[in-house]
């Protein structure tokens, strides 16, 4: 039998249940994602670079994001459709679904909608990286972007952390104001809207870039000693980036997975094509930092960058969590695909 988890069911499972709070659910996702990266570093998981299939006409692309994990006993593939033309149709630019099979028998375990899963696991990976790389005395969080990914990130980063202020910029001022009001009301942290990305960048101890930008929003001249930057929002395309070359060169780079970054991340591929950096500059993976195979932050003045492309192993880890939660609570639709 196979379990089907819709977006609404996944949202409810992430929100907590059985007396459990949303904060505890978010922390559980963070632990699952961190463990997955440690498993990758220790050779207990497999994560190939995702192949990209381009449409014969137009600029649409499809990515097959695969992974397998011995501890989680799953193999998964998320088919991600990245369709810029959907914006004019009033539809989401990115859509995805995750297929999970039993790693031993190959039986289909579950089919999950990918939207909410992707947002939450992406924010969890940022939280894991920020714990590992940001200064312990970081007090100001900067957010560039105001969409659902921004809300997922503040939910993952703020509770239980010592942030005293959130600084926000968005292309639409009204959306930025709405996000600031939500943060203050929901999470009880003061939030302020700034008029441009530079002002947020210059004043943030931890900066998250969460926009689908093709051209850089953050410039190296704006960075301050000791900052940690999470570059998250750009689509997995080699010609999209949120940081310019100078910003990347000023930072010590940690990636979620080298093979994926080497294939899909404009953040490193554009400077690489320019001859401004070498592949060795972005070989350090998050899992290696978490297991102590590579150092995290080495000095208070160091600039660190987590280049988050998003990987299938994160999807797998959260799919495992959702499948187990759904079974415990008796939710989701069960079907016999072989019937």
> Model confidence over 55-84: pLDDT tens digits?
888 888 899 999 999 999 999 999 999 998
Structure tokens belonging to residue 272: 């690489």
Q: What pLDDT does 20 receive? A: 39
The arithmetic mean of pLDDT across residues 213-221, rounded, is 95
Q: Which of 263, 284, 259 is nearest to 129 (CA)?
A: 284
**What mean pLDDT is reported for the chain?**
94
The arithmetic mean of pLDDT across residues 93-109, rounded, is 96
C-alpha span between 111 and 319 (Å, rounded): 9
pLDDT at 118 over 80: yes
The arithmetic mean of pLDDT across residues 184-203, rounded, is 96
Q: How far is CA 125 from CA 29, 143, 208, 286, in A?
A: 9, 16, 12, 9
Prediction pTM value:
0.94
Vertex 203, ends 197 and 206: CA angle to 5°? 90
Q: What pLDDT does 17 receive? A: 44
Buried b (16+ CB within 10 A) or exposed e, 80-101: bbbbbeeeeeeeeebbbebbbb
Q: What pLDDT does 22 receive? A: 53
User: In CATH, what is the architecture of 134-311?
Assistant: 3-Layer(aba) Sandwich (3.40)
Q: How far is CA 131 from CA 137, 160, 228, 316, 321, in A?
A: 11, 12, 10, 22, 21
Contacts of 307 (CB under 8 A, 6+ apart): 231, 253, 254, 255, 256, 261, 265, 267, 268, 282
CATH number of 2-117+313-335: 3.30.1780.10
Q: Which long-range contacts (CB under 8 A, 24 or more apart) does 274-283 make?
A: 274/245, 276/245, 276/248, 276/249, 277/248, 277/249, 281/253, 282/253, 282/255, 282/258, 282/307, 283/255, 283/258
C-alpha span between 136 and 293 (Å, rounded): 21
Q: What pLDDT does 54 receive? A: 87
C-alpha span between 167 and 137 (Å, rounded): 17
Q: Give the confidence band of 160 by pLDDT, cuts at 50, 70, 90.
A: confident
C-alpha span between 187 and 181 (Å, rounded): 10
Contacts of 191 (CB under 8 A, 6+ apart): 165, 166, 167, 168, 179, 180, 181, 183, 184
Task: List, as one string, the DSSP characters of 247-275.
Answer: HHHHSEEEES-HHHHHHH-HHHHHHHHTT
Q: What pLDDT does 187 receive? A: 92
pLDDT at 175 over 70: yes
C-alpha span between 72 and 37 (Å, rounded): 12
User: Which sequence spans correspond to the domains of the chain?
Assistant: 2-117+313-335, 134-311
* Total residue length of the chain: 339
Beta bridge partners of 334: 3
Vertex 226, ends 169 and 161: CA angle to 5°? 65
């Amino acid at each position: 039998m196979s379990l089907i988890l819709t977006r609404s069911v996944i949202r409810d499972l992430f929100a907590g249940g059985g007396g459990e709070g949303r904060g505890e659910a978010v922390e559980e996702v963070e632990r699952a994602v961190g463990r997955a990266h440690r498993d990758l570093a220790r050779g207990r998981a497999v994560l190939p670079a995702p192949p990209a299939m381009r449409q014969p006409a137009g600029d649409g692309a499809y990515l097959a994001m695969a992974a397998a994990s011995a501890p989680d006993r799953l193999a998964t593939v998320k088919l991600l459709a990245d369709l810029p033309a959907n914006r004019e149709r009033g539809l989401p630019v990115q859509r995805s679904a995750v297929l999970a099979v039993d790693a031993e028998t190959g039986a289909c375990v579950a089919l999950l909608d990918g939207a909410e899963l992707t947002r939450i696991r992406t924010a969890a990976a940022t939280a894991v990286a920020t714990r590992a790389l940001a200064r312990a005395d970081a007090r100001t969080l900067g957010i560039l972007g105001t969409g659902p990914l921004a809300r997922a990130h503040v939910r993952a980063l703020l509770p239980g952390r010592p942030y005293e202020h959130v600084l926000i910029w968005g292309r639409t001022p009204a959306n930025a104001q709405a996000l600031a009001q939500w943060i203050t009301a929901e999470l009880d942290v003061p939030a302020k809207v700034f008029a441009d990305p530079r002002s947020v960048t210059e004043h943030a101890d931890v900066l998250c870039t969460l926009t689908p930008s093709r051209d850089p929003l953050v410039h190296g001249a704006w960075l301050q000693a000791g900052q940690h930057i999470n570059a998250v929002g750009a689509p997995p395309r080699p010609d999209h980036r949120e940081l310019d070359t100078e910003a990347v060169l000023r930072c010590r780079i940690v990636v979620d997975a080298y093979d994926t970054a080497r294939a899909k991340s404009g953040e490193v591929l554009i400077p690489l094509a320019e001859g401004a950096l070498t592949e060795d500059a972005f070989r350090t993976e998050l899992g290696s930092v978490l297991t102590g195979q590579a150092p995290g932050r080495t000095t208070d003045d160091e600039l660190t960058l987590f280049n988050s492309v998003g990987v299938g192993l994160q999807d797998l880890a959260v799919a495992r969590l959702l499948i187990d939660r759904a079974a415990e609570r008796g939710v989701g639709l069960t079907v016999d695909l072989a019937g």
